[in-house]
Amino acid sequence: MKLLTHNMLTSKAIKQVNTGYPLLIEARDVKVSEVEFNPEFIAKIIPKVDWDCLRRAAEQLGHLDKIPASVPDTYENQQEFLKQAHHVLLEIELINGDLVCPESNRKFPVTDGIPN
Amino acid sequence: MKLKELESHLQEVEGFEEPKILLEQYPTRPHIAACMIHTIASSFDDIENRSILDLGCGCGMLSIGCVMLGAGSVVGVDIDPDALDTCQQNLEDFEMDNVDLINASVEEAGLLFRNKFDVVVMNPPFGTKHNKGLDMKFLETALKLASRSVYSLHKTSTRDHVLKKAQSWGAKPQVVAELRYDLPATYKHHTKASVDINVDFIRFAVS
């Protein structure tokens, strides 16, 4: 499961959960892979990404060092930033672990990259 | 990529090992999937660099098609973990690394994401095996999760109902094509070698 996907997930499907976001990550196995860099796509989705959530998630996966502290104003033109964003959003993957709902503490297992 | 090329690639996608009759599992035929994805990409520019959700992805036929034509990212959701295993195997065989899979039901999917996807593609169960109305549930959920458009297949016999309901949910539907879907005998109770069903390939504009 990539961090781009984690950035979108909530646990609102559980009854009585108000926001259910962001889900905490308890990681057991993390994988870093190589994904083709598509700067146009990255520039498009940056506005949709909750950057603080992304940083916390990267930290929980033990990869905080790779991610810039915040999004620069002219990010569309900064290749270096886009490359780093690409790396964190698409190349770091949680393979085995749990996602935890921040309100109910209910755990959602992630097995082989697929959250349940 | 040309349509024929896409179709021949999709023929390599593995189907369900043991299709579950209650979930109405049929792999989308490569020819239909190729036509769908190719049209979505070339006529509507809704594949390249878009964020896409494949709702009820099954073994991944549509997701793989999307990646082949340049999707930005694809998330596949399915209720059946066995189907997702097959899907994952297919993704590995095709060496595709920008598809994420999630194990969830269509109801859960509606509440799962805090943002919308650009596009939702799907080939929902038609609601024949004690699942009446399931395709409409898929459609309702899909419309909530898309910011641009939803592409889906529905039985031609239900066209009026589908179009009306979609409009009542605020979408602008357009029947892109009427296709003949040939379903080869998949389950033991199928007596004919294959059956032809008329299906509508519909685009629902959301924005």
What is the mean pLDDT of the segment spanning B154-162? Answer: 92
* pLDDT tens readout for residues A17-58: 878 888 999 999 999 988 889 999 999 999 989 998 999 899
Residue numbers in A near B148 (CB within 8 A)? none
State the pLDDT at residue B191: 66
A6 pLDDT exceeds 70? yes
A82, two tokens = 């886009």
State the pLDDT at residue B116: 93
Q: Is the ipTM of this complex over 0.85?
A: yes
Cβ pair A114:B84 closer than 8 A: yes
Range of lowest pLDDT (A66-80, B57-71, B99-113, B165-179): A66-80
Contacts of B17 (CB under 8 A, 6+ apart): B82, B86
Range of lowest pLDDT (A15-24, B97-106, B152-161): A15-24
Residue numbers in B near A98 (CB within 8 A)? none
What is the mean pLDDT of the segment spanning A10-20? Answer: 81
Residue numbers in A near B84 (CB within 8 A)? 114
Residue numbers in A near B114 (CB within 8 A)? 8-10, 21, 50
B172 pLDDT exceeds 90? yes
Can you tell me the distance from the alpha carbon of B192 to that of A89, in angstroms, rounded to the nearest whole number?
A: 48
A73 contacts chain B (CB < 8 A)? no
Residue B115, min C-alpha distance to chain A (Å): 6
CA dihedral (B190, B193, B196, B202) positive or negative: positive
* pLDDT tens readout for residues B52-67: 999 999 999 999 999 9
pTM of the predicted model, to two decimals?
0.92
Selecting from A2, A36, A112 the residue whose C-beta is nearest the C-beta of B100 gives: A2
Average per-residue pLDDT in chain B?
Answer: 90
Question: What is the interface size between A and B, counted as CB pairs within 8 Å?
Answer: 65
Strand order in the sheet with A92-100: A24-32, A92-100, A107-111, A114-115
